[in-house]
A and B are shown apart, each in its own frame.
Chain A
Amino acid sequence: DIVMTQSPDSLAVSLGERATINCKSSQSLLYSSNNKNYLAWYQQKPGQPPKLLFYWASTRESGVPDRFSGSGSGTDFILTISSLQAEDVAVYYCQQYYTTPYTFGQGTKLEIK
């Protein structure tokens, strides 16, 4: 199984500051035939289901604010929030869909400092 490891486990950032979450996979998620990285990012707020933020590592889902960005390729990926807003407090998960079993990172809890 592909192991997804996020860092840090938790993060406290001041409003308006940048937040960066890392995700590392145990094997490459880049499929050579289409040059796509099979990596998604989700946001989960308390008591709610997860919400898709990015797919193919960097394609923003419709309606996601542009202060969010996804980057990376191969085994190393980054979710960045350029200017943290109060409504961004949540747990963030990366997920690989390169092969089954699909696997998630352990989650990163983002809080306001």
Chain B
Amino acid sequence: EVQLVESGGALVQPGGSLRLSCAASGFTFSVYWMTWVRQAPGKGLEWVANIKGDGSEKYYVDSVEGRFTISRDNAKNSLYLQMNNLRVEDTSVYYCAREFGGFDAFDFWGQGTTVTVSS
């Protein structure tokens, strides 16, 4: 059974940093592109970043480029999102999701982890 479990969400002050993790199981993690999607309270979905199975390609939405870094450790079946210089507008539930393939739909999603940026 495919499972994605996010962790690391917290309350952080503007300008602070946070590292989110996503533990994957039930599939061959290293083969799949993985993605982070966020959802601000009461709002819609926003794609944040994705990474190829071997980590060789990464893409970001403009609003996080230079502040967020997506990475993965295939030996640990884990996906990460390092978030620096956080802003109030980064407050969201962050979901990790598996991409069916590269440039593909997201076929499995985690339950999400909550990041709140506030002073």
Interface residues of A (CB under 8 A from B): 1, 38, 40, 42, 44, 48-52, 55-56, 61, 93, 95, 97-107
Contact = CB atoms under 8 A, between A and B. Distances in A.
A103 B44 CA distance: 11
Contact of B105 (A55, A99, A105, A106): A55
A101 B62 contact: yes
A49 B61 contact: no
Interface in B32-74: 35, 37, 44-47, 50, 59-62
Contacts of B61: 100-101
Contacts of A40: 105-106
A42 to B, nearest CB: 8
A79 to B, nearest CB: 14
A98 B105 CA distance: 10
DSSP class of B's interface residues: helix, strand, loop or mixed?
strand
A38 B103 contact: yes
B104 A55 contact: yes
Interface string B74-113: 0000000000000000000001010110011111011110
Contact of B107 (A48, A52, A107): A52
Contacts of A55: 100, 104-105, 107
Contacts of A98: 103
